[in-house]
Amino acid sequence: MKDPPDITIVTGASGWLGQALLAALTDPADPYGRAGEIRALATSKPEGDVLGRSPGVVPVVGDVRTRAGLRDLFDGLTGSVDVIHAAGVIHPGTVSDFVEINTRGTQNVAAAARAAGVRRLVHVSSNSPFGVNPHPTDRFRNDEPYHPYMGYGRSKMLAELRLLDEVGKGLDAVIVRPPWFYGPHQPARQTTFFTLVRTGKFPIVGDGTQRRSMVYVDNLVQGVVLAELAEAPPGRAWWIADERPYEMNEIVATVKSALANAGLDVTDRQLRLPGVVGRMAQAADSIVQRSGRYVTQLHVLGEMDKTIACDIAVAEAELGYQPAVELGEGMRRSIVWCLDQGIAL
Amino acid sequence: MSSRADVLVIGSGAGGAPTAALLAEAGYEVLVVEEGDMVRQGDAVPFSLDQMDRQYRSGGVTAAIGRPSIAYTEACCAGGGTEINSGLYRRPPEDVIDRWRTEHDIADFDTAEIYAICDEVEAELSVQPIPGTATGASEALKRGAERLGWSHDEIPRWMTYSSTDVASGRRRSMTETYLPRAVGAGARIETGTRVDRLVVSDGRATSALLSDRQGRATTVRFNEVIVCGGAIQTPALLQRSGLRHRIGRSLAVHPTVKLTARFGDELNVPDDVPVHQVKEFAPDLSFGGSASSPGLLALALSDHWKLFGSAIEDWRNLATYYAAITSEGRGRVMALPGLRDPLVTYRLTRRDRALLGRGLARLALVMLEAGATEVYPAYRDAPIVRGRRDLAAMQGTFGVGKASMMTVHLCSTVPMGRRPKVSATDSHGLVNGTRNVRVNDASLLPDAPGVNPQASVMAVAIRNARRFIERSGS
């Protein structure tokens, strides 16, 4: 394992993972706390001001969509530098944002990182370049053929490929692939998820035995930092997820019970939809995305009957990754965080 | 013309040959009737067109109708499938035996007993790994799997070798083992003779109507009949004989898709197949190597010949591989009046389709890791895969409806056991509603075992033959 660098550049610093990363990296008591400068990319001045409140964080306003937008972020670097590229969009306004932010953004960050001679870049990818498993007990192995799921999956696949092109030109970059996140710093859509589950309106599509790999954000932070500091060859990629995938039935039951334990009013009712609804939504999503538009609800519903499950054995073996938090505890902490923030569930 | 036999065994493959040997050795007067010819080993080049013509049913071209249709091959010769396949041998896995016993309620189906029979069979057939190194195509599969960290192993074969050269292998097929044993114990074998139907009344079969190649009809009278024609011909014969209850309704196969990989070095061995298989995703998904003679290579490239065809000039650098799945789908075998061959249908489920697509892509990934410069997937308008980014294009355009689907493992059309609404025979192959019509071949296996089924067929056949001998106390 290498020592942390003098400067750590974090893109997507205001996002879900970005905030969790910053919280860990800037906390001396955290196992991943570090002393050097954390240079955080913000998309606006107000966003930068918020980031700047954390000790050790130097906010830089910029934009991954252009090389010019990254000039300040990579300006005046001294000593060793690592880049954690966590910027990305998953539920955009239009499909073209996928390409602009996920693909071109990654290409720009990778090219800038190579030009700046950084020590290592960690690219945060996704399960989406690999599609869905063919049946509920199948697991994606560490190495799988690409089969991107819709516009997002395609943009993240192309991002990986562009990144690997830069690796071919000499950049030291590695990839972590997290599935569905949960945990503190969650965005509004995850709040909606909790509310839907609490009121019984989050649909279980099919028989609910489809499985999902999920990752608690602190587990993901661990995986990202290990990937950054591990002695692993450039171009390597790993799944970073909780220890095991969860059945959809278990996810819903666990969230309900965590909400009830937090003193919230949880219904016994449960919306169940036949599997065909998921397939219809997927077809509709595909048509809508082809016309360049994006409807979050349609996209999410289309994925609901699918198994998306990965095997983290290689990350455990090569990085020493050990996910410490599992679904029950992770959901408990997420709900406590929401309530602490004054978010109504 | 008519003749008589104590026991008539119909078919001489992995089911019929051991059945005939054990019964003859127990003192029964056995007549084996075989539709195909006796072709001595060495007389036909393995996987050649000449062999397909002489030892395969319909020259190797038969298909199960459905969307998509699935081509299947059946042998038609003395010794059946054991004469023409790759001789790869896999015991039925323990969980498969457990599943058959519990889900199909098969009586006296003891794992230890089945494995003890497997021990015998393995000694009789000299089941062993190859001496020395495997063919280049086999090593390529192994190398690709190793690089991905995927589990793989070598499948032993029923072969004897006179040297450490793999090419010195001689297969211990039925015409070299159980059929000579049967003849040595007094059994008669009539080849080139087809059984048109059994005469059954009141649940008792009394005679079989036969015809030879010239269409001359004969009759054989018997006390007992054991049908071992394989999972297509056995149910068809029973149906032609008026026995239709639960027969031919649950065909199980391992649907298979293929690709051809091109390497920088010469690795093609036209008359042999790879012995390695990738078992990382077993039992759902297995990868292995196929026969890759120039003729078969051309067939494997034919789905997009305009793009792939020129590769055939480099045939020494090509090898064909398959991805096989355990299928949730089922098929039917239906004998139709006036037609010589039955109608076979098969239906894949959504899961089967998804698994075939993912399986073909994973297999292509193995080939890229093994060092293939180009991969040609066997489906209509497929792209050439040269790198990982092409795998996305491949999966984006794949559909089983466009694929050249095939299978060689056909089972379960007359399943044994005591499962309500499913089992067509008792736990030992006696056809329900009859007193002396037995089945003893792949038709009895309750489902496709996820591995080459021939070891399972032999083990079950020997078990049932022993039971028959014990019960009738010859």
Give the CA distances from residue B114 to residues A148, B94, B120, B121, in Å, rounded to whole numbers and listed in that order: 45, 10, 10, 11
pLDDT at B333 over 90: yes
pLDDT at B154: 96
Q: Has residue B229 been placed in a domain?
A: yes
Nearest to A146 among B150, B284, B388 (CB): B388
Q: How much is the average pLDDT of A158-165? A: 97
Among residues of chain A, what percentage have pLDDT more than 70? 100
What is the sign, positive or negative, of the torsion defined by CA atoms of A249, A252, A255, A256?
A: negative
Q: Has residue B56 been placed in a domain?
A: no
Residues B240-293: pLDDT tens digits?
999 999 999 999 999 999 999 999 999 999 888 899 999 999 999 999 999 999
- B287 and B333 part of one domain: yes
Mark yes or no for CB contact B389/A146 under 8 Å: yes
B115 near A CB under 8 A? no
pLDDT at B410 over 90: yes
Report whether CATH 3.40.50.720 matches the domain A7-183+214-243+308-325.
Answer: yes
Mark yes or no for CB contact A145/B362 under 8 Å: yes
Mark yes or no for CB contact A143/B389 under 8 Å: no
Residue given tokens 């020129």 in the structure block: B310
Closest CA to A132 of A302, A250, A327: A302
pLDDT at B1: 57
> Residue A99: phi, psi to the nearest 5?
-70, -45
C-beta of residue B126 within 8 angstroms of C-beta of residue B119: no
The per-residue b/e assignment along B338-375, b for 16 or more CB within 10 angstroms, e otherwise, is eeeebebbbbbeebbbbbbbbbbbbbbbbbbbbebebb
- B225 and B102 part of one domain: yes
Alpha-carbon torsion, ordered A10, A14, A18, A22, to 10 deg: 80
* Residue A109 parent element (H or E): helix A105-116
Peptide bond into A5 cis (omega under 30): no
Residues A225-262: pLDDT tens digits?
999 999 999 999 999 999 999 999 999 999 999 999 99
Mark yes or no for CB contact A147/B362 under 8 Å: no
| pLDDT averaged over every residue in chain B | 94
- B379 and B453 part of one domain: no
Residues B174-203: pLDDT tens digits?
999 999 999 999 999 999 999 999 999 999
B390 near A CB under 8 A? no
For chain B, what is the domain count? Answer: 2
Nearest CA in chain B to A314: B149
- Burial label for A169, CB within 10 Å (0-12, 13-18, 19+), is exposed
> Which of A19-33, A268-282, B107-121, B277-291 shows the lowest per-residue confidence on average (mean pLDDT)?
A268-282
- Interior angle at CA A289, CA A288 and CA A293, nearest 5: 75
Chains A & B: contacts with CB separation below 8 Å: 58
Domain containing B440: what range? 2-38+77-87+90-124+174-248+411-472
Mark yes or no for CB contact B365/A141 under 8 Å: no
Q: State the Cα–Cα distance between residues A304 and A223, nearest whole angstrom.
A: 26
Closest CA to B207 of B474, B49, B382, B1: B1
Q: Which of B358, B368, B369, B400 to mutate to test the interface with A (most CBs of A within 10 A)?
A: B358
Give the CA distances from residue A294 to residues A96, A284, B184, in Å, rounded to whole numbers and listed in that order: 10, 11, 76
Query: A-chain residues within 8 Å CB-CB of B324?
Result: none
- B241 and B268 part of one domain: no
Query: A-chain residues within 8 Å CB-CB of B149?
Result: 141-143, 314
Query: A-chain residues within 8 Å CB-CB of B392?
Result: 129, 145-148, 154, 157
Among residues of chain B, what percentage have pLDDT more than 90? 83
Mark yes or no for CB contact B365/A144 under 8 Å: yes
The per-residue b/e assignment along A20-57, b for 16 or more CB within 10 angstroms, e otherwise, is bbbbbbbeeeeebebebbbbbbbbeeebbeebeebebb
Under the banding of pLDDT at 50, 70 and 90, the label for residue A298 is confident
CATH code where residue B197 lies: 3.50.50.60
Mark yes or no for CB contact A135/B355 under 8 Å: yes
pLDDT at A100 over 70: yes
Query: A-chain residues within 8 Å CB-CB of B393?
Result: none
Among residues of chain A, what percentage have pLDDT more than 90? 84
- B274 and B398 part of one domain: yes
Nearest CA in chain B to A159: B389
Query: B-chain residues within 8 Å CB-CB of A144?
Result: 362, 365
Count each helix (H run) and each strand (E run) in chain B, helices first. Answer: 12, 23
* Residue B9 parent element (H or E): strand B2-10
pLDDT at B474: 45
Q: How much is the average pLDDT of B61-76? A: 83
Chain A closest-CA separation from residue B349 CA (Å) = 11
Q: Has residue B82 been placed in a domain?
A: yes
Residue type, B3: S
Own/partner pairs for A91-98, CB < 8 Å, 24+ apart?
A91/A189, A91/A294, A91/A296, A91/A299, A92/A294, A93/A294, A94/A292, A94/A293, A94/A294, A95/A151, A95/A289, A95/A292, A95/A293, A95/A294, A96/A292, A98/A151, A98/A152, A98/A154, A98/A155
Give the CA distances from residue A301 to residues A254, A304, A306, B354, in Å, rounded to whole numbers and listed in that order: 20, 5, 10, 19
Count other C-beta atoms under 10 Å from residue A264's C-beta: 16
- B390 and B420 part of one domain: no
Residue type, B307: L
Mark yes or no for CB contact B351/A135 under 8 Å: yes
C-beta of residue A166 within 8 angstroms of C-beta of residue A174: no
Boundary (domain end) residue, out of B382, B407, B432: B407
Chain A closest-CA separation from residue B99 CA (Å) = 18
- ipTM of the complex model: 0.91
pLDDT at B59: 73
Query: B-chain residues within 8 Å CB-CB of A141?
Result: 148-150, 280
Boundary (domain end) residue, out of B353, B378, B407: B407
- B241 and B317 part of one domain: no
Between A303 and A82, residue with greater pLDDT: A82
- B112 and B205 part of one domain: yes
Boundary (domain end) residue, out of B387, B407, B427: B407
3-class DSSP string for B197-266: EEEEECCEEEEEEEEECCCCEEEEEEEEEEECCHHHHHHHHHHHCCCCCCCCCCEEECCEEEEEEECCCC
Nearest CA in chain A to B396: A147
Q: Which of A103, A125, A132, A135 to mutate to test the interface with B (most CBs of B within 10 A)?
A: A135
Q: Where are the domains of chain A?
A: 7-183+214-243+308-325
Q: Name the token pair of B380.
A: 């209509």
pLDDT at B258: 97
Q: State the Cα–Cα distance between residues B112 and B395, nearest whole angstrom.
A: 43
3-class DSSP string for A240-301: CCCCCCEEHHHHHHHHHHHHHHCCCCCCCCCCEECHHHHHHHHHHHHHHHHCCECCHHHHHH
> Residue B153: phi, psi to the nearest 5?
-155, 170
Query: Annotated catalytic sites of B, by residue?
Result: 409
> Residue A200: phi, psi to the nearest 5?
75, 10
- B337 and B237 part of one domain: no
- B456 and B321 part of one domain: no
pLDDT at B151 over 80: yes
- B310 and B393 part of one domain: yes
- Interior angle at CA A149, CA A147 and CA A154, nearest 5: 80
| pLDDT averaged over every residue in chain A | 95
Nearest CA in chain A to B144: A143
Chain B closest-CA separation from residue A130 CA (Å) = 9
- B104 and B160 part of one domain: no
Enter the pTM of the model: 0.93
